[in-house]
């Protein structure tokens, strides 16, 4: 049975055109993804539930959803809705019954109407994203760590080949089924608006920019022929489906833009950590075999570390960010909550301040630089990332998307809020 299930899920992943990452690669030392203990936010709650130190109330409408969000400190204003059948409980998802996602900086929850389970993920400082389910039918709520089933979609080339997260954009038909032949997109902050959020709902204003959200694709011969006008600048979704079962009637544009940035940010951080640990590990093995000093660092290890540091810095600094051609306006509730824990410099500036005129943030260096997963990066890659970051912010040729004023502001904010950031 289990085997059969796995096969079907793998089939779905292959049909989805994604390249499943070689799981063995991160299941071996030094990563040992499946077996090493984790201390992420959900692992901590799981332990508290098992020790009777926490409990979750179930309600008629949403099962354990509200209680779980509260326990993980996730706000309902982060809600985004996706109606394409692209995820685990696909048969329960449709344009009439979209799946709801909720998130904060390091934890995510997926809920579908009448779903058997809540889908949960959290970021561990060492092990990247870890996946769990919570069975909605059980009287005693139990978080169960997934044993590889989720990775058929959550550890592929779309997640930088590490256990990770993604926002996928597809042309979906009236049932929510993607037209894979028409192409799909993995979205991050560099994606042009026109390729974003197919199969998602979206509320908020975005002027003359057009995207793929809010509409279904009915033209069998040309599925990419969708009515983007109909989906644009919507504040209300209630004529498209029954919004009452959801915690809010919104699928906020700013919440979705942040999710789109943040999902791939996790993947770049995890990849930098994994690659560095693997490079150091293979040096350790070789150093022993060749009787070299323990701290000898090979040229190939240095190159591997340099290469992941370069990618990470580029994404951190929004180097390829899509330039907005109209202002974006979303719901105040999400923006306020997002700013709640902002690390501010002495002038009151924060990496969480929104721009939303020509780009997502006013000071384009990801706020995830303050996350504990970033802070836990191994020392060799951390040193390289910070020195590259500092160099890029002193060099207009390396950061042509930034103005002199942007570079100065970023250097000042980072110097005050990021430990170890080299003074200029
Ligand atoms: C068939 C592929 C597939 C499988 C299997 C799958 N997911 Fe996903 N998941 C996705 C896709 C694609 C998204 C992006 C949103 C969407 O399209 O629904 C996603 C999104 C998520 C999100 C929101 C964060 C993000 O990455 O956008 C969570 C949480 C999540 N999945 C949890 C799980 C868990 C837990 C499991 C296993 C129990 C699982 N998923 C199995 C495809 C899958």
153 CB under 6 A from ligand 1? yes
12 CB under 6 A from ligand 1? yes
123 CB under 6 A from ligand 1? no
Which ligand 1 atom sits closest to the C-alpha of 132? Answer: 35
Tell me how far the alpha carbon of residue 398 lies from the centroid of ligand 1, in angstroms. Answer: 35
CA 65 to chain centre: 20
Degrees, nearest 5: CA angle 352-357-360: 35
Tell me how far the alpha carbon of residue 295 lies from the centroid of ligand 1, in angstroms. Answer: 40
> What's the chain's length in residues?
424
Residue nearest to atom 4 of ligand 1 (CA): 88
9 CB under 6 A from ligand 1? yes
Q: Tell me the two tokens of residue 98.
A: 């979209």
pLDDT tens series, the chain, 424 aa:
333 333 334 444 444 444 566 666 899 999 999 999 999 999 999 999 999 999 999 999 999 999 999 999 999 999 999 999 999 999 999 999 999 999 999 999 999 999 999 999 999 999 999 999 999 999 999 999 999 899 999 999 999 999 999 999 999 999 999 999 999 999 999 999 999 999 999 999 999 999 999 999 999 999 999 999 999 999 999 999 999 999 999 999 999 999 999 999 999 999 999 999 999 999 999 999 999 999 999 999 999 999 999 999 999 999 999 999 999 999 999 999 999 989 999 999 999 999 999 999 999 999 999 999 999 999 999 999 999 999 999 999 999 999 999 999 999 999 999 999 987 6
Give the pLDDT of residue 423. 77
Tell me how far the alpha carbon of residue 208 lies from the centroid of ligand 1, in angstroms. Answer: 31
End-to-end CA distance of the chain: 60
Give the pLDDT of residue 167. 98
Tell me how far the alpha carbon of residue 153 lies from the centroid of ligand 1, in angstroms. Answer: 7
Cα distances (Å, whole numbers) of residue 402 to 103, 143, 366, 410: 29, 44, 14, 10
175 CB under 6 A from ligand 1? no
398 CB under 6 A from ligand 1? no
146 CB under 6 A from ligand 1? yes
Which ligand 1 atom sits closest to the C-alpha of 165? Answer: 26
Give the pLDDT of residue 173. 97
Give the pLDDT of residue 262. 98
| Residues 286/294, Cβ–Cβ less than 8 Å | no
| Residues 224/171, Cβ–Cβ less than 8 Å | yes
Give the pLDDT of residue 272. 98
Give the pLDDT of residue 19. 57
CA 424 to chain centre: 32
Give the pLDDT of residue 148. 87
Beta carbons within 8 Å of 245's beta carbon, 6+ residues apart: 61, 113
Tell me how far the alpha carbon of residue 55 lies from the centroid of ligand 1, in angstroms. Answer: 25
Integer Cα distance of 10 and 175 in angstroms? 22
Tell me how far the alpha carbon of residue 71 lies from the centroid of ligand 1, in angstroms. Answer: 21
Tell me how far the alpha carbon of residue 187 lies from the centroid of ligand 1, in angstroms. Answer: 14
Integer Cα distance of 401 and 306 in angstroms? 22
CB-neighbour burial class of residue 59 (10 A; exposed 0-12, middle 13-18, buried 19+): exposed
Q: Tell me the two tokens of residue 26.
A: 């991160």
């Amino acid at each position: 049975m289990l085997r059969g299930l796995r096969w079907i899920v793998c089939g779905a992943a292959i049909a989805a055109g994604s390249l499943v990452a070689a799981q063995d690669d991160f299941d071996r030392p030094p990563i040992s993804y499946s077996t090493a203990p984790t201390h992420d936010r959900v692992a901590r709650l799981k332990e508290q539930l098992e020790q009777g130190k926490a409990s979750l109330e179930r309600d008629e409408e949403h099962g354990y959803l509200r209680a779980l969000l509260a326990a993980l400190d996730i706000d309902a204003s982060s809600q985004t809705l996706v109606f394409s059948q692209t995820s685990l409980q696909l048969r329960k998802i449709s344009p009439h019954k979209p799946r709801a996602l909720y998130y904060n900086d390091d934890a995510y929850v997926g809920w579908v109407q009448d779903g058997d389970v809540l889908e949960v993920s959290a970021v561990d400082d060492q092990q990247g994203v870890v996946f769990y389910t919570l069975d909605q039918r059980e009287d005693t709520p139990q978080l169960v760590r997934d044993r590889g089933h989720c990775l058929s979609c959550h550890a592929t080339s779309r997640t930088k080949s590490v256990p990770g997260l993604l926002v996928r954009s597809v042309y979906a038909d009236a049932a929510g089924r993607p037209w894979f032949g028409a192409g799909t997109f993995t979205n991050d902050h560099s994606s042009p608006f026109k390729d974003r959020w197919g199969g998602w709902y979206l509320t908020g204003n975005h002027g003359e920019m057009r995207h793929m959200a809010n509409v279904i694709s009915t033209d069998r011969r040309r599925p990419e022929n969708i009515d983007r006008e109909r989906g644009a600048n919507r504040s209300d979704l209630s004529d498209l489906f029954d919004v009452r079962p959801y915690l809010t009637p919104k699928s906020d544009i700013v919440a979705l833009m942040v999710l789109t940035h943040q999902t791939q940010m996790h993947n770049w951080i995890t990849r930098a950590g994994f690659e560095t640990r693997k490079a150091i590990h293979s040096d350790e093995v070789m150093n022993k075999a060749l009787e070299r000093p323990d701290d000898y660092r090979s040229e190939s290890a240095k190159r591997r570390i340099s290469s992941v540091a370069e990618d990470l810095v580029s994404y951190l600094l929004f180097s390829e960010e899509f330039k907005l051609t109209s202002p974006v306006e979303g719901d105040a509730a999400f923006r306020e909550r997002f700013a709640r824990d902002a690390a501010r410099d002495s002038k009151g500036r924060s990496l969480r301040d929104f721009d939303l005129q020509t780009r997502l943030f006013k000071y384009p260096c990801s706020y995830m630089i303050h996350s504990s997963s970033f802070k836990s990066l191994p020392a060799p890659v951390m040193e390289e990332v910070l020195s590259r970051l500092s160099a890029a912010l002193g060099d207009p040729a390396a950061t042509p998307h930034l103005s002199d004023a942007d570079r100065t502001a970023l250097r000042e904010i980072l110097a005050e809020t990021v430990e170890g950031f080299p003074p200029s």
